[in-house]
Amino acid sequence: MSADAASPLSQAAGNLVVDLGLSLSYRHGFGDLSPFFKALLEGRALASRCPACGDVRYPPRLVCPRDGTATQWQALSGEGSLTAFTIGRCRLPLGQDERDHIFGEVAMDGASNRVFARIAAAAEQLQPGVRVRLAPPAAPPPPHPIQALIFIPI
């Protein structure tokens, strides 16, 4: 099969491909999770705590996953320990050039679970057990508040 100049169809490595464009604008509200995102943009860690069983989650949950009780807000120090990490190639923030980023699993001090987030450091600085903290707020803020969820070594 051959594609003519007017066709969006082409071949790459023997596979048929099509180049398409998509543009979508919409407004996204954060609702009851707004306090978490506001805190994140300020470089603070705001978790949820179950008043019934004491389970603490970061990122927060509006309802306890253990017993279904409505949760309450609880501030955390923003510090924790890196438990694992990997390097992935992607565009972050959205629209930037593609490059390697480090992503890690962090056990936040005071939280019952772990969070997967970007780690702003050189791979040589990292190993399981390294202490990390939330990065200070970026200026200008990222396109989406969750992109402020970045840890740096202490």
Question: Which carries the bigger pLDDT value, residue 8 or residue 31?
Answer: 31
Task: Kindly state whether residue 105 falls inside one of the protein's structural domains.
Answer: yes
Question: Which carries the bigger pLDDT value, residue 8 or residue 148?
Answer: 148
Question: Which carries the bigger pLDDT value, residue 132 or residue 2?
Answer: 132
**Which residues have CB under 8 Å from 1's CB, separation 6+?**
9, 11, 16
- Tokens matching residue 40: 């994140």
Task: Kindly state whether residue 2 falls inside one of the protein's structural domains.
Answer: no
Q: How confident is the model at residue 1 (pLDDT cuts 50, 70, 90)?
A: very low
Question: Which carries the bigger pLDDT value, residue 21 or residue 57?
Answer: 57
Which of 132, 135, 100 minimizes the C-alpha distance to 114?
132
Cβ proximity of 112 and 56 under 8 Å: yes
Task: Kindly state whether residue 4 falls inside one of the protein's structural domains.
Answer: no
Task: Kindly state whether residue 19 falls inside one of the protein's structural domains.
Answer: no
Which stretches within 23-113 are classed as H helix?
34-41
Task: Kindly state whether residue 24 falls inside one of the protein's structural domains.
Answer: no
**What does the alpha-carbon distance between residue 55 and residue 73 come to, in Å, rounded to a whole number?**
12
- Residue 69 sits in which domain range? 30-153
pLDDT tens digits, one per residue of 54-107 = 999 999 999 999 999 999 999 999 999 999 999 999 887 666 788 999 999 999
Burial of 45 (0-12, 13-18, 19+ CB in 10 A): buried
pLDDT tens digits, one per residue of 109-146 = 999 999 999 999 999 999 999 999 999 998 888 888 99
Q: How many domains does the chain have?
A: 1
Q: How confident is the model at residue 4 (pLDDT cuts 50, 70, 90)?
A: low
Question: Which carries the bigger pLDDT value, residue 17 or residue 57?
Answer: 57
Cβ proximity of 73 and 58 under 8 Å: no
Task: Kindly state whether residue 136 falls inside one of the protein's structural domains.
Answer: yes
Produce one character per residue of 30-42: b if its CB has 16 or more CB atoms within 10 Å, e if not.
eeebeebbebbee
| Residue 71 CB neighbour total at 10 angstroms | 20
**Which residues have CB under 8 Å from 29's CB, separation 6+?**
none
**What does the alpha-carbon distance between residue 39 and residue 84 come to, in Å, rounded to a whole number?**
25
Task: Kindly state whether residue 77 falls inside one of the protein's structural domains.
Answer: yes
- pTM equals 0.81
Q: Is the pLDDT of residue 11 over 90?
A: no
Q: Is the pLDDT of residue 6 over 70?
A: no
Task: Kindly state whether residue 128 falls inside one of the protein's structural domains.
Answer: yes
Q: State the pLDDT at residue 109.
A: 99
